[in-house]
């Protein structure tokens, strides 16, 4: 290589290498999630509002599994939030009134469509106090926490008047720029809190950054509501591969299907729903009917952090008790959740025969009723004096359409069993109705594979019949999507004699700055006389973070 060529190539290689290093460093800064929560401490009965900013490389829509954990790492509650392909997602958590005080942690995880891959997105601590339970008289007071300094690459400011009258409408302008003063369009979240109320607290942090994430582990992410687990043979306890694994939901009268792999692992997906509903796992009687299922549960490591107290915490708890009494007196609540539940349609079942028990003479058991009636369902005793059951379709012309091969599936008050002896010996007196499903085409349409040998649905008056233990053990409560809700305190619409007090005046998680780097935020002052803090968090399209704040005083 000539000397002139070296003069040209070597600087070029150095420039490329430096550019690669700079680009890698820039990317590394954007490989973690950031969460902004509305305030640093909480009391039972309050709402936790949060917004999670995702790394810049996560553009696809996927379902985030959110879970709250106690100090032992056990999951207290969980639900899904779908990102919808956006750069952030928001949510809330209503703290139960009876939750024990302690350091809790919110955990967010993404799951791959591959059954064995999960990636933790972010975990952060939440101090929760209980103002309805007596405190230990020997509480030792902790030091006051220092407010963390604002950090990030973006400059964020909030412009607002110094003094605001009670119940007045407030407008604040938020402006965002980079280090060179150029306007930045970004995703914004804003909290407005009582600064004096939270002064002197042992916790002050409201913005948390997660660990650096691996791009490879965040590919082909699951976008549906799902559960993962392992299925075992009931007798031997070994994992089993199944071509047919059913999950029965009495809430919507459906059986959902999946399969398990050689290690027994499976993923079962559901149409969108919110809240919680029971799912019972069922094996296929022609394959492996006696099974046992263990569901995956979000797990994090335990911690040994005691909840800290200061005089400000004790004052906050006293104030919180008074606030609860005020809202109770006026039969209202501090923040009204206008969340709309997501309900998956209930499948309307079409039985071939229905028996309303009040229309018949009294029978002792289910078996005596059907054997006396000479219906399509019959019971007989085997050599071990256990009842077996069989069903046939009287309208079937061919033998294969007449006799239903295999034990029928009994659904008793939305719990399923194939234990014919249990069903046969049930007392008939508490039963309201019994429905028979016989026709093969209808069975296949309504129940698919697990219903091809016939289905008997029994409803009792008291809904307290317990199916056999082996069947009960495969019933689990599963969680769906959290419905979207907006922060709402309707102070101006309240009667003058009804006070409005709140530790959080406003929370906004859907704001965006425009091309000029600006956005306006509107809310209303409550009846609290105090100094208030506006905290603004911004993340731009490149993943750069900025924090800013402003204060104002409320006056009469």
Q: Which segments in the chain show pLDDT lower than 50?
A: 1-28
Q: Supply the pLDDT for residue 398.
A: 54
Q: Supply the pLDDT for residue 75.
A: 95
Q: Supply the pLDDT for residue 359.
A: 92
Write phi, then psi, for 19 (nearest 5 degrees): -65, -40
Q: Which CATH architecture group holds 353-467? A: Beta Complex (2.170)
Q: Supply the pLDDT for residue 451.
A: 95
Q: Supply the pLDDT for residue 333.
A: 78
CA angle 536, 541, 543 (to 5 degrees): 70
3-class DSSP state for residue 284? coil
**Cα 394 to Cα 32, 187, 378, 403, distances in angstroms:** 64, 65, 13, 9
Q: Supply the pLDDT for residue 137.
A: 61
pTM to 2 decimal places: 0.90
CATH of span 34-217+483-555: 2.60.40.1930
**Residues contacting 249, CB < 8 A, separation 6+:** 255, 256, 277, 278, 279, 280
Contact 121, 139 (CB under 8 A): no
Q: Supply the pLDDT for residue 11.
A: 46
Residue 407: both structure tokens together? 């034990």
Residue-wise DSSP of 388-442: EEEEE-TT-SSHHHHEE-SPPEEEETTEEE--HHHHHTSBSTTEEEEEEE--HHH
Which part of the chain has CATH 2.60.40.1930? 34-217+483-555
Read off the DSSP letter of residue 46. -
């Amino acid at each position: 290589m000539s000397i002139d060529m070296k003069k040209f190539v070597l600087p070029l290689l150095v420039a490329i290498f430096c550019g690669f290093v700079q680009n890698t460093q820039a990317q590394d800064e954007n490989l973690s999630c950031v969460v902004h929560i509305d305030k640093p401490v909480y009391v039972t009965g309050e709402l936790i509002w949060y917004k999670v900013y995702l790394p810049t490389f996560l553009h696809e829509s996927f379902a985030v599994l959110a879970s709250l954990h106690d100090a032992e790492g056990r999951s207290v509650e969980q639900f899904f939030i779908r990102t919808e392909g956006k750069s952030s997602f928001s949510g809330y958590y209503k703290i139960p009134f009876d939750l024990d005080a302690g350091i809790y942690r919110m955990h967010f995880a993404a799951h791959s469509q591959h059954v064995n891959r999960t990636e933790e997105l972010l975990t952060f601590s939440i101090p929760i106090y209980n103002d309805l339970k007596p405190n230990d008289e020997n509480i030792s007071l902790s030091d006051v926490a220092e407010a963390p300094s604002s950090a990030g690459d973006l400059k964020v400011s909030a412009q607002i008047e110094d003094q605001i009258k009670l119940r007045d409408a407030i407008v604040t302008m938020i402006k965002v720029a980079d280090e060179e003063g150029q306007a930045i369009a970004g995703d914004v979240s804003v909290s407005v809190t009582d600064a004096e109320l939270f002064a002197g607290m042992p916790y002050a942090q409201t913005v948390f950054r997660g660990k650096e994430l691996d791009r490879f582990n965040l590919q082909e992410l699951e976008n549906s509501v799902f559960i993962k687990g392992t299925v075992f043979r009931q007798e031997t306890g070994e994992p089993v591969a199944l071509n047919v694994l059913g999950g029965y939901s009495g809430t919507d009268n459906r059986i959902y299907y999946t399969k398990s792999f050689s290690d027994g692992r499976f993923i079962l997906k559901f149409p969108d729903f919110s809240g919680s509903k029971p799912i019972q796992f069922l094996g296929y009687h022609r394959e492996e009917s006696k099974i046992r299922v263990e569901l995956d549960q979000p797990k994090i490591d335990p911690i040994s952090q005691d909840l800290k107290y200061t005089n400000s915490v004790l004052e906050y708890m006293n104030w919180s008790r008074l606030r609860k009494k005020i809202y109770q007196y006026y039969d209202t609540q501090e923040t009204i959740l206008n969340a709309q539940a997501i309900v998956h349609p209930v499948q309307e079942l079409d039985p071939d025969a229905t028996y309303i028990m009040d229309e018949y003479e009294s029978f002792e058991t289910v078996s005596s009723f059907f054997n006396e009636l000479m219906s399509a369902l019959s019971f007989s005793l085997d050599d071990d004096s256990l009842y077996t059951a069989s069903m046939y379709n009287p309208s079937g012309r061919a033998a294969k359409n007449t006799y239903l091969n295999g034990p029928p599936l009994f659904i008793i008050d939305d719990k399923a069993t194939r234990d014919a002896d249990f069903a046969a010996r049930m007392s008939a007196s508490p039963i309201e109705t019994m429905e028979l499903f016989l026709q093969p085409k209808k069975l296949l349409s309504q129940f698919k594979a697990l219903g091809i040998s016939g289905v008997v649905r029994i409803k009792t008056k008291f809904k307290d019949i317990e199916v056999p233990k082996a069947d009960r053990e495969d019933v689990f409560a599963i969680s769906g999507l959290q419905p979207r809700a907006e922060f709402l305190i309707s102070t101006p619409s309240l009667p003058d004699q009804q006070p409005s007090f709140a530790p959080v005046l406003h929370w906004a998680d859907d704001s965006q700055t425009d091309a000029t780097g600006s956005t306006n935020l509107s809310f209303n002052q409550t009846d609290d006389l105090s100094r208030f803090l506006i905290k603004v968090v911004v993340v731009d399209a490149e993943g750069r973070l900025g924090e800013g704040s402003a204060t104002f005083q409320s006056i009469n």
